Amino acid sequence: MSRLIQQFLFSLLLLSFMMSASAVRYLGDPKQAPAIKNLINILQVQSQEIEKVLRMLAALQNEKSGLDERKQKLGKAMQVLKADRVLVKAGKLSKSTYHEKWQEKGQEQQLQKDMDLFQNAVKKFNHSIKVFNLTAQKMKHVLKKRTPGQIAALVAEMKKLILKLQQALNEGNYEKALFIAHKSDVAKEFGYSKK
């Protein structure tokens, strides 16, 4: 009787080992893995480029608001300087008062220095816009007809898709990876097609 129990336990052990070994087998054709891996690489690179464009856009918007503030302050200071010059020419402000206010205190020199710095900042900003436009041009197929919110949602979807595909590949379930890619509009947008 104990021999019968030992044989039964041995066969159960053998059966459980066979079941766990069969669970590791791959589902689907492993030849499809390169296509899925290529899709994952494309999605990773493209999502990074899109995020780069979004960061650049945010930086440009911040820089522009700073330049707008500086422009207003400099514009007001220039108006005061011009108004004082008009008053001097009209004889309503003495040259000594004007000289003391603008030249002795260094306000005129400081204003000129601030104007030069502002012009350099504008040149730098214009260069940043050119770089942004070149980068955005490369991504126009994604950015076109999308709001920044929609673009951020697209990046999130891309990242989710990458995780799902990687998980399916790690499990060795190529059929699942193919199914996920085939059903995904994001995958199709970035060039995946079932072959």
| pLDDT bucket at 25, cuts 50 / 70 / 90 | very low
Pair of tokens at residue 169: 């590949």
| pLDDT bucket at 153, cuts 50 / 70 / 90 | very high
Closest CA to 73 of 113, 114, 106, 109: 114
- pLDDT at residue 102, as a whole number: 84
Percent of the chain clearing pLDDT 70 (strictly above): 84
pTM of the predicted protein model: 0.69
| Euclidean distance between CA atoms 98 and 48, whole angstroms | 57
| pLDDT bucket at 160, cuts 50 / 70 / 90 | very high
* Mean pLDDT, residues 33-58 taken together: 91
* Mean pLDDT, residues 80-103 taken together: 87
| Euclidean distance between CA atoms 98 and 52, whole angstroms | 51
Dihedral angle sign, alpha carbons of residues 149, 161, 187, 49? positive
H or E, element range at 191:
none
